[in-house]
Structure 1
Amino acid sequence: MLGDKGASPYHVLILTSLICIVLFAMDIANFGFDVSNTLAYRRDKIEFWQVWRLVTGNFLHTNLWHLLMNLAGLWIIVFLHEIHYKHHVEKLVLLIFSLCLFEGVGLFFLYPDLNGFVGLSGILHGLFAFGAIMDVRKGFRSGYLLLIGVIMKVMYEQYFGSLQGMSSLIEARVATESHFVGLFVGIAIGLFWLPLANRFKRRNR
């Protein structure tokens, strides 16, 4: 599907959403195997080489509200920056995978006290930051406002914590560490993406 000429960013969103929904349903129904115990980010398990958790933990959620909010955010962010992925669906696939991987790696090395984490929120902050940088590169002044806004939001969380009531809604502590790591990774990928893309284009001319 993703290799077809008619593929769009929304095919990626549908696939990502289905993965999250199926895993959530399996976790609730306890069908087949213990999803959370097998796939969630758990530092103590990763230390024993269960490295897949660095990626898979991003696709799990604590409850239905957590799932719905993250999926809504995913669709809104990609819709907002659709122009950057419309003709390069593979870019979005690679971007999401890279964000998932480096999110897990960043949490593992930067926050040794964080043992457990699930959810797409860190990835969403990375996607948003990446899209804002791409806006700036295309000459959209709104990109500066979006980038400054997400940086200020994450910095606020680092000092004052998440919005009041959010922890109760998702029935877990909001891992603001993931927002910081996601933001950093999204900015880093955005800054290095264009030079790498231009180099690749020159090689294929």
Structure 2
Amino acid sequence: MLRLYTLWELEREVSPDEFQHILTPEAALKKAAYCYDLDYRNYTSPPVNEAPRPLDGLNNKPYQRTGYDPIYDDLEINLMEGWIIGLDTDEHWDETVNPFHISAEGELIFDNADPFCWVVSDFQRAFRLAISNQNGRKPAATEKFQSSGEPVQHAQVAKTINTKAAGRLLAAGGVYNGNIEGFRQTAEQLGGDAPTVRQ
């Protein structure tokens, strides 16, 4: 479910592994229309420097913006400028709505061209402070999903074989190809076992 935070709440209330679930401003506004009170008639004064009130339950249909709508308009501007941030940890990470991911080194990476790219350094600073608040423990890398919901498969890095294993392979290749002595010498130089073969 969507949660809205102010920029200064990120470092105190969001754990480092949740930063990858920051939503684009458009996605956050779309979800906020279902679970936040955006109707200005329900406020005696508009929220200043804070997110609107969450609704008690989830609406079946989104809030429809009217001509004069200061709560909706302020939220839209604050999301675009990065002063309010939407997070949804209930959904899998998706590159179309999540502009950040966590690298294998545990760093917060921005790889999107959203309007709030000018506050990326503020998000990264909040991320580092959140890590510091957790005794320096960095989160695991983002598990990226395809549109089908399956994790993205990465090519496996080839394991290097040791010289002894290489020697055994060469010896076996020599036996197979009939060039036993040449392969035997190379296998022994690499530390592999080259069996004696009778012809």
Question: What TM bracket, shorter-length normalisation?
Answer: under 0.3
Structure that is richer in strand per residue = 2
| Structure-1-length-normalised TM-score | 0.21
Structure that is richer in helix per residue = 1
| Structure-2-length-normalised TM-score | 0.22
Please identify the structure whose Cα radius of gyration is greater. Answer: 2
